[in-house]
Amino acid sequence: MALNSITRFFLLLIAVHYGTATNLFRTKRQSGPTNIFSIGNGEQCTGSDRSTGGVCLSRNQCNTQGGKAIGFCGVFATCCSLNACDIRTNTKVAVFINPPLSKESSGLECSYSVEINNNNVCQIRIDFETFNLAPPTTVDPVDNVTQRPGYMCRNDIFQVINLQGNSEVLPPLCGDNSGQHFYTKVNASTNNRVLNMRFNIADRISQPNLPQATWKIKITQLECFNTLGKYRDGIFEAITSSLPSTPLMSTADRDEYLIAPPGCLQYYPDRTGFFESFNYNRGAGPYIANLAYATCFKRTPDVCGVKLTAANFDMAYREENNMHLDTDCQINPVTQGVPQSEDYLFIPEAETADGLRGSKFCGNSATNQIIASTPPGPLYVHFHSDNLVTEGVPESGYRFNYNVLNNCYPK
């Protein structure tokens, strides 16, 4: 009898211990409700109208950060909409919404400052829930000239600045990027513990044809402190993800699922989903010039690769009759001569369903293709765009559906 009691006690203890992993595997739609006794935890909430989003803060925090109370979250907190400029916050999660804009009020600079929450914070994930700015542009065409500078953000510009001396360079963004995201690493041990973001919005009076700028961006400070990660691989991951969460779960444990591998501007931890080029704009593009970044996928011990299915793929190319693979997409600098396009998507160890192998894809070479990438290391693709537009050659971009693989066919 005593033995059975001891056994039940240890089983309960294990369930409580591993149950803390549950929130790691919840998607945004699966997240549990806010604690009714919340006093302002910085998590997302919904206003009284059931549609406007905000963050859960104390009323004093909301007022200090220039926010507006749009409802309640719990008994002691308010759902705060941060729809103003020049906001400074140190909450774990913050949602910034554009202030009311009109043609008369555009032509402004809107800045946000995010103070690092604690010394465990190692990454900040920036989710563009809504992001509609003026699109990237190039110069007007000139008679008898087939090449022009690439599409750049020349009117509206979003930038992350003050990266505390890190080697990474985050791209300036514009156009339609709703649903996109990117990561920036931070070092909480440095003296400067503030990350700055800035919107520069062009004047609509002198440029009335520009679309109205709107945005809603979610900032999440992610902590790198892993005590249970070694138990979350393979079969243990499947077991612990099905257990209920407990109050013993640390913030860093909840963040572990979202921590991106080093060098990844974008990271997709779910086993299936989609990704697309910046300013894909439902296939209208164009993508932004002078970009070079990696989009990464989660690789657990049971994963051997990733399958990519192109919903659309339309990038620049050099020669109409080429296959638009590898050397067709990047020129040897010794023999380059005149400037030619070097836009491509690098997919390591790639092979199409019909047996075509390559690494760099440009033109429409990935159109209607199912591509398996089975590299021995991290799972990623690398996008590269130059500063060149050729007349008559589209640069609308790409959109892929992806599935991570646990049964890779032999090559």
Torsion over CA: 160, 261, 283, 215 (sign):
negative
Pairing relation of β-strands 181-185 and 93-97?
A: unpaired
Report helix, strand or coil for 328: helix
For the segment 318-328, the average pLDDT, to the nearest whole number, is 79
Which DSSP string do the residues of 18-46 spell out, in sequence order?
A: HHTTGGGG--GGGPPPPPTT-S----EEE
Least confident of 41-50, 217-226, 330-339, 392-401: 330-339
Q: Considering the entire predicted model, what is its pTM?
A: 0.79
Lookup: tokens for 361: 């894809």
What integer pLDDT is reported at residue 41 of this predicted model? 65
Q: 122, 224 in Cβ contact below 8 A?
A: yes
φ, ψ of residue 172 to 5 degrees: the values are -70, 140
Domains of the chain, CATH where assigned: 1-32+235-258 (no CATH), 82-224 (2.60.120.290), 262-411 (2.60.120.290)
Q: What is the percent of the chain where pLDDT is above 70?
A: 76
Run of H or E including 64: helix 59-64
What integer pLDDT is reported at residue 22 of this predicted model? 34
What integer pLDDT is reported at residue 28 of this predicted model? 39
User: Per-residue confidence at 54, pLDDT binned at 50, 70, 90?
Assistant: confident
For the segment 93-100, the average pLDDT, to the nearest whole number, is 86
